[in-house]
Each structure stands twice: as C-alpha cells, then as structure tokens.
Amino acid sequence: MRVEIRDIRKYFGSVKANDGITLTLEEGHIYGVLGENGAGKSTLMKILSGYQPPDSGEILLNGQPHTFDSPLSALKNGVGMLYQDPHDIPPFSIVDNFLLGRDKRLRLNYRAAESELKELSSKYGFALDIQAHVDSLSLGERQQLELVRLLAGGAEVLILDEPTTGISAEQKDVLFNSMRKLAREEGKILLLVSHKLEEVQELCDHAFILRRGKYVGEMEIPCPNEKLVEMMFGQVPPRSERPTFELGDPMLELRDVNISTYRLSVKNLNLSVRAGEIFGLAGLEGSGQRLLIQACAGLVRPESGQIILDGQDITSWSYHKTRAVNVAYVAAGRLEEGLVASLSLTEHVVLAQRETDFFVDWAASGQDAQSRIEHYQIVGRPDSTAEELSGGNQQRLLFGLLWNKLKLILLEHPTRGLDVRSTNYIWNLLYQRRQDGTAIIFISPDLDEIIERSDRIAVFSGGVMSRIVDAKTTSVKEIGHMIGGQL
C-alpha cells in the first residue's frame, strides 16, 4: 500500500482546518502526526478515513484516486480509524459489535465470527472474553475490540487517535506491541495522532508536523523533543510553574460515604478537601474515582454517609441544586456530557447563565460569546457549533462556561488530548481559581500530571480508596503500585 494525500483543503467558515496539505505514506512505517490543538490533525485523519469529505484535493491509494463517502467506504478500500472514544454499542455483546456493519445477512454466522475473533485476538496478544458484553470492558479492551474489527474488515492503513488516553500501562504495552507487529511484520501503514511526544519517540519512525492547518515539516524519529515542539508551536512554550498557596478551611468533607451501582460499589469514603486545595484521584478507569466526584456533583446518590460542602449537608441534593451553590462538574465526555454538539457557542452561553429572562437577548449573548472566545483564546466564532471545534477548543469552551465564583470544581481528565501549551493554559486557569478559594478535585490517567499538579492524592483500585499521600513526597512508582492494589 502507498497512500498519497494531495493538496487537501477543508474550511469551516473562515477557519482553515486543512490548508493545502500534501503527504506520502509508505507501507511498513509508523508515522506520528503532531501539532497543537486546532492544527488540523483530526480533520485530516477524518478526511482520510471517510468520516468527512474535503473541500478540495484528492487521496490516492497505490496511484489510484479514491473518494470515500463514509468510514465503511474507506474501510472497504483498506483505510480504518480507531477513534479516541471507541465507536461501539456498550449493551451489545462483543461478538455483536464485531459483526456490526460487516455481516448483513438476516441470520448472522456467530460461529464463524467467534472463531475469527478468537484467532485475531490471539494473534495480536489481546485477551478478550468473547462471551462478555462491551459495557463490562475497560477502555483499553474496547480499543482492542475496535482494532480487531478494523483488521477483520481489511484495514491496511490504520489511524489511531490518542489511543493511550485512559488505558493502563499494561494495555499500552500490548497496544504498542501489536502496532509494531502490524507495521514491521505485516507491512501495514500506521498513523499515530498523539500529544505525548515520549510515545511518538518510542513507537514511530517518522513524524509529520502541522501548524494552523498547514504542513510545516517532517522529522525522522528519534530526534530531540525540543525540535518537535518548536515546529509544532513556532517556539518552545515556557513551562508553567505551580504557584504556592496557603490553603483555607475545609471546603468539602466526605464522612463514611458508601456508593453502589449495578457495576461497582465504593465503601467507607472519608475525605476532607480544603479551600484552594488541588486534590488528585488516580486509578484505572472504573475503579471508583468517578463515582466519588459524581456523588459530590449530585449525579449519584450515596447509600449512606454524609457529603458536607462549606458546612452544609448536600448528601441528597440533585445536580441542579448542587450547581446552584457553586459546585461545577466538567465531564470527560466533552460532546457526550459537557456540551451539545449541534448548538452554537452563543447558545451554550445562554444555557450556562445563572438566570435568564423569558426572552433571549441574542445580540447581547453573541457579544458575550465573542468576549469569552477572546478571553479563553477559543479558535471559533459565536455561531460555530461545539462539534466544529477541536478537542482543545472544546475544553477551553467548557472552562469558559464556568461561573465566576465557585466553591468546588470536579474535573474528569481536564487535559485529555491537549497539547503542552493548552495543558499549561488550562492549569493556569485552575491556579487562578484556587486563589479565590475554590477547591479542585480532578481525575487523570496521567500519573505525572497527578503528581505535578496535586497537593494530595488518593488512589482507587477495585472500589477501594487508598490512604491519602502528599504529592511532594510520592512517586510514579509508588502510585503505580497502589493502582495495582498495594494500597
């Protein structure tokens, strides 16, 4: 397989997502696709995988021009994409998801599907229980299932968008080993879209760099990280320093809190977070940390115990009542839970207001949206929809919709999929919040981020919360052991 991307252009209004990009991909290579948030990486990959059409330009496979009108059309021609959020149906079984879009007969051949699924899983070192349902799988296992689906569909070109976000170190090793095998032994083309330069250095042999919708150069890997960062941003952005801060009185207290759902129970949560404190929660996905912050946000009701906010018992309060006393919750799923994909930035501003009149002043709301766009450096317009924004700009929008005065901010993966400059920007916003006495609790799969940004840390493993450790005196190794169950 040889892939040529020629003069691809894609515009969203005045925003030039892809502005004349030309690349050539050869079989047997793993390419890194780098660039800051909004550089055009995801747009280019979606065009290559048939998710959306270009405004102009062409894609050639082995010298022949091809037009993809859907991801299925691209896959039939050998191009498949593993998205950051797996495209599966959780209530369905693994085998049902494996067959989706592939077997269109009235009576599906489950026996053949199970045999093929077992064979491919074994070949690439995946340990999938084919009798299970997808909603019982971890994010890493869902990625493995999606990758096997693409390979069974005939993918010769595989695009992986931020594939290590939210998966364990062991699952990352399995994924990387399978990627090396696909490229080195089977001659496939792999494209890794990632902001983690250490992963690009570890896995790739070549990197393409985009900036503001344009192709700005390429580098053989390995090479100095500083060179890649300079090409991505035009300069090496200064690293933000974590400011010191004198913590205040307890803002949030959990007293013998027990939370149970049909999938997981978390028992005996005792925790006190002070005003201005940044408290990190580590652990594999589904270990219980998300239940804790959802209970504090009023989205999950505890079975027993008390949740105290600034001296007030909010244990049984709803999300809307909790929000009214200045508690903010920023979910990991930006478009699934945090934003409404088809609504404009102006409409989001209207929805986020504390109080609204019966009639909406759209002119004033548009001006408010423009002001927030400028203040939070969002690449978009008041009439841009949320789904038109890049992941980094969606995250900036979420922070731009938060109220000015907050007692508690609850965050899931606040810098998920963000480049180094956007990551520093988000944390600077949070540091400003703590100066106002806001307590911050956040979940992150990045142990370096947990240690660097937190004052204190708790680790969850199988529904059990560890002892609380000081971020200044712990290490990635210690946190890793705790995640493994050595609490």
Closest residue by Cα to residue 411 from 423, 240, 266, 199: 423
224 contacts: CB under 8 Å, gap ≥ 6: none
Residues 261-273 pLDDT 10s: 877 889 999 999 9
CA distance 54 to 46: 9
Q: Which secondary-structure segment (H or E) carries 375?
A: helix 362-375
With vertex at residue 295, the alpha carbon angle to CA 294 and CA 296, rounded to the nearest 5 degrees, is 90
Residue 287 banded pLDDT, cuts 50, 70, 90: confident
Does the pLDDT value for residue 333 go beyond 90?
A: no
Kindly state the average pLDDT of the residues 65-84: 91
Is the distance from CB of 232 to CB of 39 less than 8 angstroms?
yes
Structure tokens at 244: 């010191």
Q: Which secondary-structure segment (H or E) carries 170?
A: helix 169-184
Closest residue by Cα to residue 408 from 316, 269, 343, 311: 311
Closest residue by Cα to residue 483 from 452, 450, 439, 442: 450
CA–centroid distance for 295 within its chain? 22
Closest residue by Cα to residue 227 from 241, 250, 249, 209: 209
Which domains occur in the chain, in start order? 2-233 (3.40.50.300), 250-326+403-483 (3.40.50.300), 345-402 (no CATH)
Does the pLDDT value for residue 20 go beyond 70?
A: yes
pLDDT greater at residue 243 or residue 257:
257
Structure tokens at 45: 């990959």
Global confidence as pTM: 0.74
Q: What is the pLDDT of residue 189?
A: 96
Is the distance from CB of 246 to CB of 406 less than 8 angstroms?
no
- DSSP symbol at 336: I
Kindly state the average pLDDT of the residues 168-183: 86
Residues 372-422 pLDDT 10s: 999 888 888 999 999 888 778 888 899 999 998 999 999 998 987 777 888
Q: Which secondary-structure segment (H or E) carries 191?
A: strand 189-193
Q: What is the pLDDT of residue 329?
A: 96
